Structure 1
Amino acid sequence: MTFELLLKIIANGLFFTPKAVISDVGGVMTMFIYFVNQPRLPNMDAPSRRNQLIRSTSNDIPSNEASSYLYSSATYQKSCTGIFPRVTILMIVVMFIFASFGVQIVGGKLAACNDPTVLSRVCYPFNLPVTQKMFFPQENCTGIFWQKIFVTRLEVYGKNDEEMHPKILVPRVWTNPRNFNFDHVGNAMLALFETLSYKGWNVIRDILYSRQGP
């Protein structure tokens, strides 16, 4: 340890240098431990003193570093062997709980018509009995409509003009959002996995806010 500290001080400096030995708490603790152990050295007999000197410089021996690395890696491997499966199981259980909660809150409520002007799925006639409403056809979200064309990172000619903006005829469809839904636990867990990856979470947030409110 003496030789190692001497090399560090010569290479990096003791104080007031960018990488000084005493520049943080770790360096202060290293010097403290070194100077606390030094008074014990003169009180030892010759064999013990020789062993202490050998041990004090043993950190610079490559074989000792290799054995220390192997021991540390084995300790880390043994300590982490049982942790990852338990953490994975815990994460799946927690995600299942939140997925079930999402199904109960917004299950079947995120579907909408691809025509933004259509706000309801079915248009019932006035005074239609409740027993007949379930068999009534979807009159609002049916037929075709003009869908405006947008291209990512491309300036579309006439996009600010209602008449000149490019459009195509598409059928009206009452469907869930394109990449997620909470109709059952499986799809809900997939949506939660996507939010954990920090990709697409803002889409889920915006759709939930627009269709279910804050």
Structure 2
Amino acid sequence: LPATAENLPKMETRMSQWAKWFNTLSIDNPASQNRIKLEILTGEEGNARNVFANIDQSDSDVRSGEIVTAKITNSSDKPLYIYLAVLSNDGTVNVVFPYERGSNERLEKGREINVMLRAKVPDGKNASTDVYKVFATKTPVDFHMLASEAIKSVDEVPADPLSQLFGQAMQGVSRGDYRLVNQQDWETTMRIVKVGK
């Protein structure tokens, strides 16, 4: 957009949306103990391949329409609540697991789940880069607050400190509450997938 007075509100909105996207991307726990493993596999069941096995070759890419499986393994000694978000380089943030807002999925220790998705290039683009990001917590958190569709309102303020931390980190502001969040109670991991036509 040209920097004109009439475009200023649109530019502010876009800059704010990108800031939120990058804030969501940057949510990380430096004290993470790598208790959650994330593998991205493609292909039909039984013929899956790890897209990161040959990262320097074209095998690391997937095609639009191809089935992508996010294999999430809880290698900790405790059950953890699992949430999977996909951040696309068109600025969208989609919480794809659990799909329904307010639902929670607990993954028992030593267990794994497979979340199957269809890779898609956004309309008008030739390629896309998607970041698959897993959040694992000891207590339930509604990560749908991170979804781009849910950014329209900041009226909802979660009650628990961990939910407040994630929501405020996504918005790039302080919670205004200095209750500590135990770093042993959560972690993240992510993988990047390039999708082409």
TM-score band by shorter chain is under 0.3
Ranked by relative contact order (alpha carbons within 8 Å, sequence separation 6 or more), the top structure is: 2
In our comparison, the structure showing a higher alpha carbon Rg is: 1
Structure that is richer in helix per residue: 1
Structure ranking higher in strand proportion: 2
Q: Give the TM-score normalised by the residue count of structure 2.
A: 0.22
Return the TM-score normalized by structure 1: 0.21
